[in-house]
Amino acid sequence: MTVLEQPGSYRPTPPPAWRPRTDPAPLLPDAEPYRVLGTEAADGLDAGLLLRLYGHLVRGRRYNAQATALTRQGRLAVYPSSTGQEACEVAAALALQEQDWLFPSYRDTLAAVARGLDPVQALTLLRGDWHTGYDPHEHRIAPLCTPLATQLPHAVGLAHAARLKGDDVVALAMVGDGGTSEGDFHEALNFAAVWRAPVVFLVQNNGFAISVPLAKQTAAPSLAHKAVGYGMPGRLVDGNDAAAVHEVLTDAVRRAREGGGPTLVEAVTYRMDAHTNADDATRYRSDAEVETWRGHDPVALLEQELTARKLLDEAGMAAEREAAERMAADLRERMNQDPVLDPMDLFTHVYAEQTAQLREQAGLLRAELDAAAEAAPDSPEGTQR
């Protein structure tokens, strides 16, 4: 008889370092996404907050439409619209205090604008004249991040550094459903939980990673469930309910600020437009599905709440729409002006101090520009100095 065959002879006892978790904190998300609008809980909502959210939603919707139009005119290389997801964008910006940091993904232009970034600066990357286009320190908005989920560990590191310095700073990092499959998502959540960093992760689950639906992305019951494995609470919220997203994010930000550690929030929403103008959404989803979501529109949901409570009338709505039109007209006008670029900038910010090799290459470009200016004095490149 071998050792393993002797009944009861091999009983592994947990070593001292391992103990089953007994803490009562419910890390699991609720079964259903949290909702406020249209429920009794909405009665207690602050009218001023709702009106602010509404104003941002209306302008955000218009911004998405205008930016999409600019791609058709060739003014933007690409624009990943967040139409249908405006509630997540706006709530993300409004849940933060001034000293906090936002780490947006490429689709989160609206969150950056709602946080105070100049609408034109927010489109600099997509316009193609330079990369980030703004000073991240000015509004505490990290560069709109194109690689998926790679900005999440940055948020953790920044929040961790701020806490080490004793500063009251929370970082909110945004990612899509597809981004949750990336290794950096896992590493960021794990670091954040181990370090108890003041970070909030907001997953905007808009149903698709370009064309791949959530069911092919994950086998988890929900993306919020992933929080449990890291030892942080997961919250599931209706991403089209601006009041609910704002409340859940505000709770999570407060918890982080008070030293409670990170939270993972999954906002269930829907991308009404295609991934970008280069995408054909009809290949992977039906019009009927899109129509279903049109009946759950974030702007309409909030509008219904506000009108039912007589906080908003037709005149109020018209005023918001006019403000949005003014913003769009300003955006159009400024985006239609050709940016003035200095090609010599190519070499300016590679290193703090230019290397000999770069100085030499800058000299080559300078000579090319001078030759071009001599050959065609009126050409755009020829006129720039």
The reply to whether 122 sits near another protein by the rule CB under 8 A is: no
Q: Which residues pair with 268 in a beta bridge?
A: 205, 238
The answer to whether 275 is a known catalytic residue is yes
Please give the span between the terminal C-alpha atoms of the chain, in angstroms, as a whole number: 89
List helix spans (H) across 100-182. 109-114, 124-127, 136-139, 151-164
Q: Is 122 or 274 the residue whose CB approaches another protein more closely?
A: 122
Q: How far is the CB of 347 from another protein (least distance, A)?
A: 10
The reply to whether 127 sits near another protein by the rule CB under 8 A is: no
Q: Which of helix, strand or coil describes residue 282? A: helix
Region from 161-169, 207-215, 303-311, 375-383 binding another protein, contact rule CB under 8 A: 161-169
CB distance 191 to 197 below 8 Å: yes
The reply to whether 371 sits near another protein by the rule CB under 8 A is: no
Structure tokens at 136: 């991240």
The reply to whether 116 sits near another protein by the rule CB under 8 A is: no
Structure tokens at 201: 């992760």
Concatenating the DSSP letter of every residue in 229-294 gives: HHTS-EEEEETT-HHHHHHHHHHHHHHHHTT---EEEEEE----S-SSTT--GGGTS-HHHHHHHH
The reply to whether 283 sits near another protein by the rule CB under 8 A is: no
Q: How far is the CB of 225 from another protein (least distance, A)?
A: 21
**Binding footprint of another protein, residue count (CB under 8 A):** 40
The reply to whether 99 sits near another protein by the rule CB under 8 A is: no
The reply to whether 184 sits near another protein by the rule CB under 8 A is: yes
The reply to whether 336 sits near another protein by the rule CB under 8 A is: no
The reply to whether 229 sits near another protein by the rule CB under 8 A is: no
What Å distances lie between residue 173 and 15, 42, 157, 203, CA to CA? 37, 27, 12, 9
Residue 142's CB: how many other CB atoms inside 10 A? 19
The reply to whether 343 sits near another protein by the rule CB under 8 A is: no
The reply to whether 351 sits near another protein by the rule CB under 8 A is: yes
Q: Which entry of 225, 284, 285, 321 is annotated as an active-site residue?
A: 284
CB distance 188 to 156 below 8 Å: yes
The reply to whether 106 sits near another protein by the rule CB under 8 A is: no
C-alpha span between 172 and 305 (Å, rounded): 27
CB distance 119 to 140 below 8 Å: no
Which residue type, as a one-letter code, is found at position 67? A
List helix spans (H) across 73-115. 86-94, 109-114
Question: Which of 118, 187, 251, 279 forms a contact with another protein (CB under 8 A)?
Answer: 187
The reply to whether 160 sits near another protein by the rule CB under 8 A is: yes
The reply to whether 356 sits near another protein by the rule CB under 8 A is: yes
Say which residue the tokens 């998926």 belong to.
148
Please, which residues have CB within 8 angstroms of residue 46's CB and are 6 or more apart in sequence? none
Q: Is 107 or 160 the residue whose CB approaches another protein more closely?
A: 160
The reply to whether 117 sits near another protein by the rule CB under 8 A is: no
The answer to whether 284 is a known catalytic residue is yes
The reply to whether 340 sits near another protein by the rule CB under 8 A is: no
CA-nearest of 213, 275, 267, 204 to 33 is 267
The reply to whether 162 sits near another protein by the rule CB under 8 A is: yes
Number of Cα atoms under 13 Å in the Cβ half of residue 65? 11
Check the CA dihedral 75-280-184-250 and report its sign.
Answer: positive
Region from 24-32, 69-77, 258-266, 353-361 binding another protein, contact rule CB under 8 A: 353-361
Question: Which of 62, 107, 115, 154 forms a contact with another protein (CB under 8 A)?
Answer: 154
Q: Is 136 or 343 the residue whose CB approaches another protein more closely?
A: 136
C-alpha span between 170 and 53 (Å, rounded): 21
Q: How far is the CB of 124 from another protein (least distance, A)?
A: 10
Region from 51-59, 180-188, 317-325, 328-336 binding another protein, contact rule CB under 8 A: 180-188
Region from 31-39, 136-144, 239-247, 334-342 binding another protein, contact rule CB under 8 A: 136-144
The reply to whether 342 sits near another protein by the rule CB under 8 A is: no
CA-nearest of 154, 32, 174 to 112 is 174
Active site residue ranges: 271, 275, 284
Which residues bind to another protein, rule: CB under 8 A? 130-132, 135-137, 142-143, 147, 150, 152-162, 164-165, 171, 183-184, 187-188, 190-191, 194, 345, 348-352, 355-357
